[in-house]
Amino acid sequence: MFRYHILRFIKHPVRCGAVLLLWIGMLRWVLTDTFFSTDFQGAINLTLPVLPYIFLVFLAVSYECFYDLKRHRLEDLICIGRTNRFRVQIYDGILLLLLNLVTSGLVYAYHNWFYIHRGIYNQHLQIYTLRLVLIYVFLPTLLAIVIGWAISNIQNRLYALSAVLLSFYLFDSSFLNLLLALSKSNYSIWKFGTLFSLFFQSECGALRDCHYLLTAENVHIYRILFFLFLMLTCVVYCGVRRKIWAFFPFGISMVMLALFFMPTGAVYNFSHFMSAFDSAVHDQIYYDEDEQHALDDAKAEANRKDFQVTAYDVDVRMTDILNLSVTITLDCTDLPEYQFTLYHLYHIEKIQDDSGKDLPYERESDYVLVQNPTADLQKVTITYSGDSQYFYATSQGMILPANFEYLPVAGWHKVFVSNWDGIAEITFSRELLPQKARFSVDLRLRGSYPVYSNLMVKRLGKQDGYYHWMIQGESDGLTLIGNPYLEQRKIDGVNVIYSVLDESYAPTEQNLSLYRELFSELEDAGHSLRGKTFIVSPEDNNGNWCVGENHIVGIPLDREYIMEYYQNHTLYIPMTPETAPNGMSIKELSDWKEREEKNEESQDDTVIQ
């Protein structure tokens, strides 16, 4: 019975030829120098050029299979022992599913071939690649099969072929870029555009999550399942007599759509396409606005150093977004108001005193002003949730460095600094707490990945569906990092935490000398890191570095900056004609200095008045 479907597929020259041509084309691509000369930047990057072609071929072949079956006479179905056309279509679907498995298996084999050729083959990379192939190759191809099945119900051949081409266009980069062009400042349109990002393309860099694809996995699965069950709704409605059965897949598709549009910490990098929601430039665009820059300057000027935080008691619940309740112990209890800095995308739900009473507060961007109606305020509890476009924290992975204001910091400080501040960099502030504080963190994760920190970490097991961790200690900042591919290693007495997938900076044999040179140079200068922690920033976060009392977050190539910090406490590269970024001319630098002088003069006039 199933043999009949296989023979019918093989005897059809278009269907069989298209799949064979796809496999041959993939093999030819693998055997070219381009494949083996590709710089390794993550497993998914190797298949970026072929993903759209796999989708298109299976979309067309699926349509041809199911459309051809509809032309069969009842006598043909009786000959193979079937009188129910819908059940016969299921057999064709199973055959296409097997071809999808073979294609995904070839992609997986090609990746392993590449790893062996580059000498980076290991078990972690194998498991990681298998997961990526299943999520980013197998699932989209399965969707292509179901879309072709649904389109085969269109009676008019011309309309049906047009629907095939339109379906491919909806998921192609040209349509995606059209939507992104309309969404530079509109989050709703941007979010709607991401619904169609089934596969990635290296030419446009559309919706590539460069942080090991960890944060976007759940969202990608939601979008695939939405379209999959939506197309199954059409298939069931057209293929069975009891139309009410179609409501079951339709209901599931609506649930997946709701999950997709829920707040998420998924991080996207549009690479060659400027967008306000790109992980790399989102904060730069936000903080470079004239109004925001003026606000940052005004708040930093109004900053008071009336109090400090002596302890943080943090309750963290991490799903697809970050949920925190932070109890802050104050060293000065009788001030009329307290200033705090908290990253603006974290939305405050409530602020309470140590007795549980709500405290009045005002918030403007990153700056929070809490009123104190009592004479003695020992502690402040701030409950908030949200996500960052750059420093992510989800059920798949997280990186929350100590210099990022994901915890409320005493006083008003600039979260982000740029050329406007007289430095030759565009980066998050590298300042940590002015004095050590006690940290006690109760961390509950939906994900099962390991968690590391610059403080003592203890895993407590699984409770109520969450993986429970406890982090405790004293420091001038708290860094949290986690994903399934992290390991730690002692190098010359320094605890190095890194990802095994990071070929560029993992302390392998070829990179080990970078770490030993850095640690030796610091020790010779009287700044030994023995007994301390060096956390290697994940890919695309390694532009951010900070130096703390008991740890460093960065990469070994930051040696020059780290040494400069220890010797002169220099946090940023000053703006000069030589260090001006992005090819800034002498005239532009002169204009910038002139603006600064005018600002200083206006401030002096204000003081005199």
The whole-number average pLDDT for the span 366-375 is 90
CB atoms within 10 A of CB 280: 17
439: β partners = 312, 473
Alpha carbons 468 and 460: distance in angstroms, whole number: 5
Alpha carbons 580 and 60: distance in angstroms, whole number: 52
Which tokens is 278 given? 């790109």
Alpha carbons 231 and 147: distance in angstroms, whole number: 6
**In this predicted structure, what is the pLDDT of residue 445?**
92
The whole-number average pLDDT for the span 18-26 is 85
Q: Specify the range with the lowest mean pLDDT, choosing from 52-56, 73-77, 415-419.
A: 73-77
Residue with tokens 């269109």: 154
> In whole numbers, what is the pLDDT of the chain averaged over residues?
81
| Angle at CA of residue 339, ends 334 and 344, nearest 5° | 150
Type and span of the H or E element at 393:
none
The whole-number average pLDDT for the span 17-45 is 72
The whole-number average pLDDT for the span 459-478 is 92
Q: Do the Cβ atoms of 162 and 80 come closer than 8 Å? A: no
Question: What share of the chain has pLDDT > 90, as a percent?
Answer: 31
Alpha carbons 364 and 596: distance in angstroms, whole number: 24
Which tokens is 480 given? 């949290």
Q: Specify the range with the lowest mean pLDDT, choosing from 464-468, 473-477, 600-604.
A: 600-604
Q: Do the Cβ atoms of 315 and 328 come closer than 8 Å? A: no
Residue 532 pLDDT > 90: yes
Longest dimension (CA), the chain: 101
**In this predicted structure, what is the pLDDT of residue 203?**
43
Alpha carbons 565 and 569: distance in angstroms, whole number: 4
Alpha carbons 63 and 157: distance in angstroms, whole number: 11
Q: Do the Cβ atoms of 447 and 439 come closer than 8 Å? A: no
Q: Do the Cβ atoms of 118 and 31 come closer than 8 Å? A: no
The whole-number average pLDDT for the span 517-539 is 88
Which tokens is 125 given? 């990379």
Residue 474 pLDDT > 80: yes
| CA torsion, ordered 319, 320, 321, 327, to nearest 10 deg | 10
More confident residue, 368 or 219: 368
Type and span of the H or E element at 6:
helix 2-11
Alpha carbons 490 and 488: distance in angstroms, whole number: 7
Q: What is the pTM of this model?
A: 0.81
Sheet of strand 533-536, all strands in order from the earlier edge strand to the far edge: 486-491, 494-499, 533-536, 551-554, 546-547
pLDDT one-digit tens code per residue, 408-432: 999 999 998 877 667 767 788 888 9
CB atoms within 10 A of CB 5: 19
SS3 497: strand
The whole-number average pLDDT for the span 118-138 is 81
pLDDT one-digit tens code per residue, 227-247: 999 999 998 888 777 888 889
Query: Which residue from 306, 303, 354 is spatially nearest to 329, judged by alpha carbons?
Result: 354
Contacts of 168 (CB under 8 A, 6+ apart): 52, 55, 56, 59
- The DSSP string of 80-101 is TT---HHHHHHHHHHHHHHHHH
Question: What share of the chain has pLDDT > 70, as a percent?
Answer: 79
**Runs of H (alpha helix) within 246-374:** 247-261, 282-288, 290-301
pLDDT one-digit tens code per residue, 560-592: 888 888 877 777 777 665 555 554 544 455 555
The whole-number average pLDDT for the span 322-344 is 93
Query: Which residue from 394, 417, 393, 397 is spatially nearest to 406, judged by alpha carbons?
Result: 393
502 band by pLDDT with thresholds 50, 70 and 90:
confident
Most confident listed range (80-94, 194-208, 453-467, 553-567): 453-467
Residue 341 pLDDT > 50: yes
**In this predicted structure, what is the pLDDT of residue 585?**
47
208 band by pLDDT with thresholds 50, 70 and 90:
very low
Residue 55 pLDDT > 80: yes
DSSP tally for the chain: helices H, then strands E: 18, 21
**In this predicted structure, what is the pLDDT of residue 493?**
92
SS (H, E, C) 154-186: CCCHHHHHHHHHHHHHHCCHHHHHHHHHHCCCC
